[in-house]
Amino acid sequence: GNSVTQMEGPVTLSEEAFLTINCTYTATGYPSLFWYVQYPGEGLQLLLKATKADDKGSNKGFEATYRKETTSFHLEKGSVQVSDSAVYFCALSTDYKLSFGAGTTVTVRA
Amino acid sequence: GAVVSQHPSRVICKSGTSVKIECRSLDFQATTMFWYRQFPKQSLMLMATSNEGSKATYEQGVEKDKFLINHASLTLSTLTVTSAHPEDSSFYICSARDPDGRTWDTQYFGPGTRLTVL
């Protein structure tokens, strides 16, 4: 079956620090990969996605590259801001169903 | 675009009563919607897939008689928690898939409904 494993948190960073959240997956077929973000008190928002191997998704300074050889989709941002404090979910999609990782809580301090 | 709303955002009910949660796609037609449950500090667990005009498909372990899903139109799906008990208290989230264009594989999420059963 499909599964997503992502780095456990919580992660606490200072503003302008580098952020990386590891995500690996197991899937049958060729999944699409996603990062969703959940800000405090809000619903999930799509942050970025990649649909095939070597694709790079990017948005709001965040990037992730679909690595088929390592079955990974690590999220990175070079310089975080306080407004990036949120819970980040890695997810994969096959047959239109999403499987989520456990979520990583990120707190950025000024 | 691709906005999904949920109503209500919060609901408190007594044990034994039924609660209906609505999920609407506001600016697109969603042939498929999904219902998730999220426990505190945990990930989302898919409960069921709701298809317009047909019966919902439930994930293993989800009681279909307890969680009734109706997808009566291309923009509305409802989840009814019947005879609610305190263990049904949770955060319920819906999502909708826009079948057109470049975002065919992307789900758009509603803001969620916090259900508390006393």
Q: Please give the residue of chain B at the shortest CA–CA distance from A40.
A: B111
Element (H, E) at A62: strand A62-65
Per-residue pLDDT of A22-60, as tens digits, reads: 999 999 888 999 999 999 878 889 999 999 999 999 999
- Residues B36 and B94 sit within 8 Å (Cβ to Cβ): yes
**Tokens linked to B23:** 């999920």
CA distances from B72 to A83, A97, B30 (A): 39, 21, 11
Query: Which whole number is the average pLDDT over A64-83?
Result: 97
Per-residue pLDDT of B33-83, as tens digits, reads: 999 998 877 788 999 999 888 889 999 999 999 999 998 888 999 999 999
Tokens 């302008």 belong to residue: A16
Pick among B33, B107, B108 to test the A interface (most A CBs inside 10 A): B107
Spell out which chain A residues touch chain B, with contact meaning CB-CB distance below 8 angstroms.
32, 34, 36, 42-46, 49, 51, 89, 93, 96-103, 105
Q: pLDDT band at B102, cuts 50/70/90? A: low
Query: Which whole number is the average pLDDT over B86-112?
Result: 84
